[in-house]
Every structure is written in structure tokens, then in C-alpha cells.
Amino acid sequence: MATTELTGAEDVAWDLSDLYESGDDPRLEADVGEAEDAAEAFRERYYEKVSTLSAQELADAIDEQERIESILTRAIYYAHLWFSTDMADSERGALVARLTEKGAALDTQLLFFGLEIADLDDAAADALLVAPELERWHHWIRSLRKFRPYLLSEAEEKIFTEKSVSGVSAWGRLFEELLGAIKVPLDGEEVGFEEAISKLYSGDREVRRTAADAITEGLEPGLRTRAYVFNTILVDKSIDDRLRGYETWISSRNLRNDTTDEAVQALIDAAVSRYGVVQRYYKLKARLLGLDRLAYYDRMAPLADDPSKVSWDEAREIVLGAYSDFSTETGDIVERFFDESWIDAPVRENKRTGAFCATTVPGVHPYVFMNYTGDRRSILTLAHELGHGLHGYLTIPLGLFNADTPLTTAETASVFGEALTFKRLLALEEDPRKRLNLLAGRIEDSIATVFRQISMNRFEDAVHTERRNQGELSLERFEECWLETQQSLFADSVDTDGYGSWWSYIPHFIGTPGYVYAYAYGFLFALAIFRRYELEGDSMVEPYLEILRLGGSKPPEELARIVGLDLTDPGIWESGIDALVEELDAAEALAREIGIGVGS
């Protein structure tokens, strides 16, 4: 393993003992056993009886189901978190596998309950939905019933769930392991994927080009296997959708996201029609870098070379300051993540790549996972994941079911927290060149979150549609679809030669098909709220926190109304993109002011 520069994050490891002491903590086994027993008793008590329950009895039953699922979810979360910091440890992998099986078995036991609720005739359901005893579960019941037209018989659903262990989730796990094993041959050593990717942020074009070539080389082993896994996921999804009667490959995702095919199409059309913004920025960037045209590996290059690393302590101060300035309450909550070891920060051998926040740990605070490298992106990633952490923390009182947010609102607090932190970073910087650099970084993040995700959605759309209409895709076809959708985004502003295999390291395509547009949806939604906060100031703090506290207990449309936004207004998507254009105007003005890249 290559030596990584020290950031002070090396010892910032999380303490998972709020979940369990260790993988062989007897409490873990006891919990699993209790969940299994309770699930069996639950089935005995309620199977084929849901339609006979009174409102109060149904409320009690839902409470009990939530309790059972919370117990096992806690164990499963522990296993995943424990595994993510050392993926080479077979004991940890085995626990994940075993608990995944237990989880599927439990889901199988409890499956009938949701199906029977979904199966209630409308008159009976309407009567229950006005009963005060069930008020807490209104949205949950409605959400269950919206899948009604797409559910199969219990026997069929049972086979689906049980076979998923050896089917779709096994393929997902294989893909994750293949990604985790990727080593990049760089400068005579083998480095991890994260570290190689971070070289694309270097100010030295040769370093970026070398890193990009090395990444392409590192992606090569297993590429055909990963393409095969992707093909399998594509066909699996097409079978699911056909049997269930979903209209398009994305329809089930949209329904799950509490949104509609029409709203998502409006978002996609809005973004695709504004691809020109991206091209305008990349042309400005080429001028600023003194290049004729950007190559794909130049997109993340800093405008002013800044090799300095931000220490963990400094990052903590910046991020914490941003959250504290917003409100004392948010500052206090975020501070606990640092003080009480709820974060795992350093880059470590055999650690999973990327960053995430485990927000739905029933009855326990969330945990934040990341690979802190000390660059600007790392600070904003920290701010991002802590936004999720804040959101998850505020929804603990809601319990497992109501805290769970659809993907469309899951990114609200993370994007908002990033925006707050960005403002602080900009305010702390006086050097105009560095300000331009920061602004450019912000624009690039917006491009990555909105336009890149939409272009990746176009890639997914292409391959899912092609798999359905023409059959299995060759590796070459994946590359063609990838390059076509990326070139449509960049037009002539970026050279994509050599970029063909880079679709193959994006886990969302495999683990959560259709996921990526939710970033754009959530980002533009959060940005709309943030702009309102900038406009109206502190009077927006409480309404915003109210949105977070409601978790997933209300549909996004209702949440948006709390801050006076109408999600059915297509202007929502446009206004977020207009914000990006304003930043681009500001960056161009700043470039003119300091006299770089002018008139060339």
C-alpha cells in the first residue's frame, strides 16, 4: 500500500459499541433469535387476519412489525458497518452473508402483512385511514397500498424474496467485492482506487493523465465479469418489471421515490435542455487552464494548484462552524458526531471506498463513513454525510418506518449542509484566485450532482431499454452507450478518448438501478429551499428543521409546502439550474477581473 499523506484523521475511527461490542457479541445472537421468534409469533397471530382487525389492533400489529424489523435491522447494520472498514476479513464477510439470509427469511415471514394491508378493499382501507388510532401510520399505509397494482400473490412474492438471496443481491455483492479488490498500478506501486481517483484533482496535467491511464488499466481486470454482472442485473430487473406490470424500467423506482414518471421526465428534460451550461463551463475552464480543450481527466483539475492538505481538525472546525452558524441545535448535533466517535474517517487498507451515512439505525444515532484525504472535496463530503447524519438524528423519535425517506428527499439535508459549508469556505477565502477556484469547484460539484447524474440516467435508460428490446449487451456496447451519453453532455467541450470503461466502477448501476437521478432531484429540491433561506434568513431555520424531523412520514410534496414550494411547478428544476448559471457568471467575471483566460 502506498504511503498516504497524514491528515490527522488516521485515528478517527468509529466506535460501533452503541450497536454491539463485536461480531461475536452474544447480544447480537440473542437479538437475531428474538426477532426470529417474534416474527414466527407474529405470523401465527395475524396471518390471514389483517382484514378482520380493528383500527387499534392494526396499529398494534404495525408497532410489533416495526419492533421486529428494528431488531434485525440493527444487527444487519452492525454487520455492514463492521465489514466496510475491513472487507478482507472473512469473518466480517460471513456475518454480512449470514444476516442477509436471516433478513430475507424474516422478510419472507412478515411478507403477508404488507400484502394483506395492500389487499384490503378501498372502502375498508378508507375507513382505517380516518381512524385516529392509525394516524401515525397513514403515510406508511398509503405508501404500501400504492404498490397494490404491481403486487403478485403471496406465494409468488415469497419466491421472489427467497430467491433474491442467491439472485440479485448475490450479484450485487459480487460486484462490490470486485470493486473493492481493484488496485491501480501507479508510479511502480499498487494504490487503492480512491487514492488514484484523488490524483485527478492534481494541478499537474501529467499526474492526471498518468492517473487516468492507470485507472483505466486498473479497471481492465474483471471488466468482462463486471459487464456480465450488469447484464444479469438488467435482465433480472426486466423480468421483475414484466411480471409486476411496470410500464418502464424507471417506473418502480419513481413510485418508490414517492414521485411520478411525469415529474422525473420533467426534471430530465429540464436538465438535458440545459447541457449547454456544462459545455460553457468546461470551455471557460479550458481557457483558465491554458488548454485548447479539456480531456475527461481534466474536469476535476484545480484552477490554481493547491497541494496543501486540510487537516482533519481544520475540516472539523469549518464544517462544525457552518452547521453552528445555521443554528445552535444543528451545531450541537453535528458536534456529537466528532466528540462521540460516530465517524470513521481515514483511508485504510481493505476499507470500502467512498462515503456513506447509516441513517436508519433503529433507536441509535447514525454513523458516518468516509475516506478523508484532506482535499477540498473531502471537506464537502464530510459536510454532506453529516447532513445525512443530522437528518437521521432528528428522525430517531419517528422509529424505523416513518424515518425512512425516499431517495428524492434523502439528499435534502446533505445538499443543504454542503451549501452551508461551501459558503463558509468562500467567506474564509480572500485571495481572488482561490475564490475563483472555490467557485469553480462548486460549479463542478453542481455539474457532478445534477448534469452528470442525469447523463448517467440517460446511460441507464439506454442499456435497460436495449437489454429489453435487443437482448444481452456486449462489453463494447456498454462502452458505446456510455460514451454516447457522456458526449451528448460534453459536446465538443471535453475529449472522451479513453473514457469507455469508466462506467464499470459505479456501484449504483448494479446495487440500486435508477438511483442516480435522485441526486439531481434532491439537489435541486434542496437548493430551492436553500435559496429561500438565503432570501429570508433565520425565519427559515425552523420550517427547514421541521421538514427534516418529519423524515419520510409525509410525501415530498407535503414537505415542500412547509417552506412554500410547489413541487409540481416545473420552475423548481429550472430555478436550481439558474442558480448554477449565476455562479458561472460570477466565475467568468472573477476570471476577467484577475485577467486570466481573457480573450483567448
Nearer to Zn ion, 360 or 437 (CB): 360
Nearer to Zn ion, 409 or 501 (CB): 409
Shortest distance in whole angstroms from residue 521 CB to Zn ion: 12
Shortest distance in whole angstroms from residue 323 CB to Zn ion: 16
Nearer to Zn ion, 414 or 553 (CB): 414
Q: Which amino acid is at 551?
A: G
Cα 346 to Cα 372: distance, rounded to the nearest angstrom: 5
Shortest distance in whole angstroms from residue 278 CB to Zn ion: 21
Cα 530 to Cα 25: distance, rounded to the nearest angstrom: 44
**Exposed, middle or buried by CB within 10 Å (0-12, 13-18, 19+), for 572?**
buried
Cα 356 to Cα 582: distance, rounded to the nearest angstrom: 30
Number of helices followed by number of strands (H, E) in the chain? 27, 7
Shortest distance in whole angstroms from residue 480 CB to Zn ion: 30
Cα 389 to Cα 393: distance, rounded to the nearest angstrom: 6
Query: Measured in Å, how far apart are the chain's first and last C-alpha atoms?
Result: 43
Give the CA angle between residues 268, 175, 73 to the nearest 5°.
85
Nearer to Zn ion, 231 or 395 (CB): 395
- How long a stretch of residues is the chain? 600
Nearer to Zn ion, 405 or 414 (CB): 414
Question: 55 near 66, Cβ under 8 Å?
Answer: no
Shortest distance in whole angstroms from residue 80 CB to Zn ion: 16
Shortest distance in whole angstroms from residue 389 CB to Zn ion: 11
Nearer to Zn ion, 482 or 509 (CB): 509
Shortest distance in whole angstroms from residue 321 CB to Zn ion: 21
Shortest distance in whole angstroms from residue 315 CB to Zn ion: 18
Q: Does 453 bind Zn ion (CB under 5 A)?
A: no
Shortest distance in whole angstroms from residue 522 CB to Zn ion: 8
Shortest distance in whole angstroms from residue 512 CB to Zn ion: 12
Classified as helix, coil or strand, 103 is: helix
Shortest distance in whole angstroms from residue 353 CB to Zn ion: 15
Shortest distance in whole angstroms from residue 201 CB to Zn ion: 20
Nearer to Zn ion, 402 or 414 (CB): 414
Nearer to Zn ion, 389 or 399 (CB): 389
CB atoms within 10 A of CB 268: 19
Shortest distance in whole angstroms from residue 384 CB to Zn ion: 6
Nearer to Zn ion, 202 or 395 (CB): 395
Nearer to Zn ion, 4 or 414 (CB): 414
Nearer to Zn ion, 65 or 414 (CB): 414
**Exposed, middle or buried by CB within 10 Å (0-12, 13-18, 19+), for 581?**
middle
Nearer to Zn ion, 251 or 414 (CB): 414
**Exposed, middle or buried by CB within 10 Å (0-12, 13-18, 19+), for 92?**
buried
> Any idea what DSSP says for residue 246?
-
Q: How many residues bind Zn ion (CB under 5 A)?
A: 1
Question: 430 Cβ partners below 8 Å, 6+ apart?
Answer: none
Q: Could you please report the per-residue DSSP string of 215-240?
A: HHHHHSTTHHHHHHHHHHHHHHHHHH
Cα separations in angstroms, 453 against 144, 295, 417, 504: 28, 19, 20, 15
Scanning residues 403 to 422, which ones bind Zn ion (CB under 5 A)? 414
Q: At what angle are helices 275-289 and 432-446 packed, to 10 degrees? A: 150
Pairing of strands 294-295, 183-186: unpaired
Cα 546 to Cα 535: distance, rounded to the nearest angstrom: 18
Nearer to Zn ion, 233 or 415 (CB): 415
Cα 184 to Cα 188: distance, rounded to the nearest angstrom: 10
Classified as helix, coil or strand, 499 is: coil
Closest residue to bound Zn ion by CB = 414
Nearer to Zn ion, 214 or 410 (CB): 410
Pairing of strands 294-295, 367-372: unpaired
What b/e sequence results for 448-473 when a residue is b if at least 16 CB atoms lie within 10 Å of its CB, and e otherwise?
A: ebbbbbbbbbbbbbbbbebbbeeeeb
Question: 57 is written with which cell numbers?
Answer: 389492533
Shortest distance in whole angstroms from residue 357 CB to Zn ion: 7
Nearer to Zn ion, 437 or 449 (CB): 449
Torsion angles phi and psi, residue 233, rounded to 5: -65, -40
> Any idea what DSSP says for residue 311?
P
Cα 409 to Cα 427: distance, rounded to the nearest angstrom: 28
Shortest distance in whole angstroms from residue 270 CB to Zn ion: 21
Cα 162 to Cα 104: distance, rounded to the nearest angstrom: 6
Binding residues for Zn ion (CB under 5 A): 414
